[in-house]
Structure 1
Amino acid sequence: MKNIQITYPASYQKRVEAAIEKACPIDWHREAEPDETRESVLVLLEDGEGQSLMDAAQNIFTSKDQWRLTVMDVEATLPRNEVTKSDDDKEEKKNPKQAMREALVEEVMGGSKLTIDFVVLTILSAIVAAIGLNENNVAVVIGAMVIAPLLGPILGFSLSSALGSSPLMLTAAKTAVSGLAIGFGTVFVLALIFPVNLESQELISRTNINPEVIALALASGAAAALSLTGGLSSSLVGVMVAVALLPPSAASAMYLGSGDTRNALTAAILVLLNVVCVLLSTQIVFVWKGVQPRRWLQQQNAAKSRKINIAVWAVLLIGLFALGYWVSNHGELLESTFL
């Protein structure tokens, strides 16, 4: 459950009360400030039921009004809310609940910024992944994926695309590209210094491009988007996204550092293919969950952007899969042509 507190000029009392009633709250109450020029309401709502109230508040007040809306999580409340729903209510609740748009943006923005912590975690996860791949140690590779901070910028890019937010999209794209580049560069330097175990099965498996890897990346992206919109913990699905991105990126750098350009190219194509799959599935989930901007014109622009993005990702998926499959099975022709 959520508590939404709104503080606003007292002249907006009736409009605020109407917006609260439309939100179907569990409970709410109003308090006036001592000078009676401002007042505040505290509204208790079920999870996934606060977006209409937040939108209404933004429509009611102007930027000049001294108002503030705050969302707070509720761990428990008594008495328990056990309201029997009518058939109409049940039909209305068939649509899946989702976290509030502003809460999604706030959560994603933190993980989409290129900070010192992000860079350090990326370097550490790349080092651990390289060791795990080289030693053919699955547990170490999994450990690398646990600390890899790749989920934030990927989700940030998809969410900003769904909302039509260019600034957030650029920030997330810069962080994602920087993260992949930093990880790749770190492993490449290690491959130049230390010998690479080209017989490692963990390393070799990152050069196999088949329908299973597409299914894994699509499932990872969908799980990440669902965890975000459902307000669930994203730590485990963060590992899933890292499964699709970190090991093949590290494998590509290791192969390139050891002079094996064919397998380096195959693993690099796998990274790009997985990125496209994750972005495509997250976009589809955001569309299904109805994540969109508040204003009508922004909704129209975002809808066009989503259609273009989904089409582009789908075409890239097919093209990259065909290219990767050909390189992995006919790489000798590529080597004989260019080397």
Structure 2
Amino acid sequence: MRLVQVTIPAGKRETVLGTLDDEGIDYVVTDETSGREYTGVVYFPLPDNAVEPILDELQELGLEEQSYTVVVDAQTVVSRQFDELEERYSTDDTDEERISRQELHTEAENMTPTFPVYVAMTLISAIVATAGLLLDSPAVVVGSMVIAPLIGPALAASVGTVTDDDEMFWGGLKYQAFGLGLAIAGAAVFAWLLKTANIVPPGIELSSIGEISERFTPDLLLLAVALGAGVAGVLALSTGISVALVGVMIAAALIPPAAAAGIAIAWGLVMETVGATVLVLVNAVSVNLAGVATLWYTGYRPRNWFETDDAHRKMLRNVAAFAAVVLVLSVFLGGVTYSTYQTSVAQQEIRNSAQETLEEAQYEQFTLLELQSSTGQGVTYDQGSIVGINQGITQVTVTVGYENDPDRAALADVLAQRINETVQQDVTVEVRFIEVERRQVG
């Protein structure tokens, strides 16, 4: 429930109080004696879902331009008339819990910090995320998400769309674009400094670091994280629930991929830079798309009917633009996902082929000890545009144990031939032999 405070302009006192009486609302009026253009201040409690329609009705009387309104939380209201009002406005859907459009607008504005604070917090979160990725530390990466200030601009763009506030919409988009660009640049500079100072070992294999490799070759399933974050963020904001934890989820979709892109830039890895950057873009757009769709679905609209029509057109335009970008980038992610699947299948087929070869009678003196495969990346183009990253097997290392000094060269040739036939491409096959000695104890 909310306690609403409204200043009454001169000449509007009877109209305002008459409206509240018609709605059956308890109120208290105090006279304004400051000599300004106000004649009084009226206080009245409202159920959460009654705030928006009552304020809209009062604003239609001209109060918005001539006075100010304050809405605060109220813990308890003891009044039979309030109980009747609460019952009259009660519903069985999400409208029962959502805050008013006016409160939503204010909350969205207040969630974006001042520009200097936004810049500082974004840089800090990007640097912490970069350190966490290089350390392969999930805990440090999560810590970077907690301090990221990206939820405010993301939700501001969504709220600005459905309430027909162009200034809020474009401001949110600009903040997001600047913040993500700053995060990538900050991560790149920090990673380059670590590399130059040899704080990170020069020969480190970035693709072997789990926290980094999953952002270098993004999977289509990661799209669900961004969409879920957008929906959850809007629901938390519109129902008055703390958005702190949801902000972590939105940051999870944006900050680690941005840091991964910065690391790839610092190491001069072109394909990995493309993969991580695409993940940043598709996640950012998905958060906005999910936010706009959820707000419109939960019933938020501009105040006036003619503004609603205009907002509806803008909402459809923005949703169409967001969806088109997500669709195009999802083709890229889908290509990466399919390529990863093919690589996994090929790796299993290579292992099966090597195992079946060593199980043949002429190779009974050999035992498969270990099989490793290295992968490389290449770009897939369609009419001059990048549509995906191919991840293929480039080298296979087979470690074989042997007894009684058999002909090892012949086996190496056979394994190389059969592995190349299995993957249907030329790959480098390295066969390592280790002499084993079997002894029976007891």
Under a length normalisation based on structure 1, what TM-score does the superposition of the two structures give?
A: 0.88
Say which structure is richer in strand. Answer: 2
| 1:129-168 pair list within 5 angstroms | 129-168=129-168
Q: Which residue of 2 aligns with 1:108?
A: 108
Say which structure is richer in helix. Answer: 1
Q: Which runs of 5+ in 1 are unaligned?
A: none
Asked whether 1:300 is paired with 2:300, we answer no
Query: Would the aligned equivalents of 2:9 and 2:63 in 1 still touch at CA under 8 Å?
Result: no
Identity rate, percent: 28
Asked whether 1:313 is paired with 2:312, we answer no
State which structure, 1 or 2, has the greater radius of gyration over its C-alpha atoms: 2
User: How big is the shift at 1:5?
Assistant: 1.1
Asked whether 1:249 is paired with 2:258, we answer yes
Q: Which residue of 2 aligns with 1:8?
A: 8
Q: Which residue of 2 aligns with 1:74?
A: 74
Q: Which residue of 1 aligns with 2:52?
A: 51
Q: Counterparts of 2:279 and 2:86 in 1: how far apart (Å)?
A: 50
| 1:28-43 pair list within 5 angstroms | 28-33=27-32, 38-43=39-44
Equivalent position amino acid for 1:111 in 2 = M
Q: Which moved more, 1:68-77 or 1:130-139?
A: 68-77
Q: Which residue of 1 aligns with 2:188?
A: 188
Q: Which residue of 2 aligns with 1:239?
A: 248
Q: Counterparts of 2:75 and 2:86 in 1: how far apart (Å)?
A: 27
Asked whether 1:283 is paired with 2:284, we answer no
Query: Would the aligned equivalents of 1:187 and 1:253 in 2 still touch at CA under 8 Å?
Result: yes
Q: Counterparts of 2:275 and 2:300 in 1: how far apart (Å)?
A: 35
Q: Which residue of 2 aligns with 1:326?
A: 335
Please give the per-residue CA displacement for 1:176-203, whole angstroms capped at 9, x wherever unaligned: 1111111111110122222365021001
Equivalent position amino acid for 2:50 in 1 = E
Please give the per-residue CA displacement for 1:159-179, whole angstroms capped at 9, x wherever unaligned: 111112121222212211111
Q: Counterparts of 1:312 and 1:155 in 2: how far apart (Å)?
A: 17
RMSD: 2.9
Query: Would the aligned equivalents of 1:23 and 1:50 in 2 still touch at CA under 8 Å?
Result: no
Change (3 A) 1:74 1:220: same
Equivalent position amino acid for 1:313 in 2 = F
Q: Which runs of 5+ in 2 are unaligned?
A: 341-376, 387-442
Query: Would the aligned equivalents of 1:23 and 1:52 in 2 still touch at CA under 8 Å?
Result: no
Equivalent position amino acid for 1:187 in 2 = A
Please give the per-residue CA displacement for 1:239-270, whole angstroms capped at 9, x wherever unaligned: 00000010011101101211111111111111
Asked whether 1:229 is paired with 2:230, we answer no
Higher relative contact order (CA 8 A, sep 6+): 1
The alignment partner of 2:50 has SS state of coil
Change (3 A) 1:80 1:182: farther
Query: Would the aligned equivalents of 1:113 and 1:153 in 2 still touch at CA under 8 Å?
Result: no
User: How big is the shift at 1:277?
Assistant: 1.2
The alignment partner of 2:12 has SS state of helix
Asked whether 1:94 is paired with 2:93, we answer yes
Q: Which residue of 2 aligns with 1:202?
A: 211
Change (3 A) 1:299 1:145: same
User: How big is the shift at 1:154?
Assistant: 0.7
Change (3 A) 1:167 1:83: closer
User: How big is the shift at 1:24?
Assistant: 5.5
Equivalent position amino acid for 1:56 in 2 = E
Change (3 A) 1:41 1:283: same
Q: Counterparts of 1:287 and 1:63 in 2: how far apart (Å)?
A: 24
User: How big is the shift at 1:104?
Assistant: 1.8
User: How big is the shift at 1:45?
Assistant: 1.1
Equivalent position amino acid for 1:70 in 2 = V
Q: Which residue of 1 aligns with 2:118?
A: 118
User: How big is the shift at 1:77?
Assistant: 4.2
Q: Counterparts of 2:238 and 2:32 in 1: how far apart (Å)?
A: 35
Equivalenced residue count is 334
Q: Counterparts of 1:33 and 1:102 in 2: how far apart (Å)?
A: 25
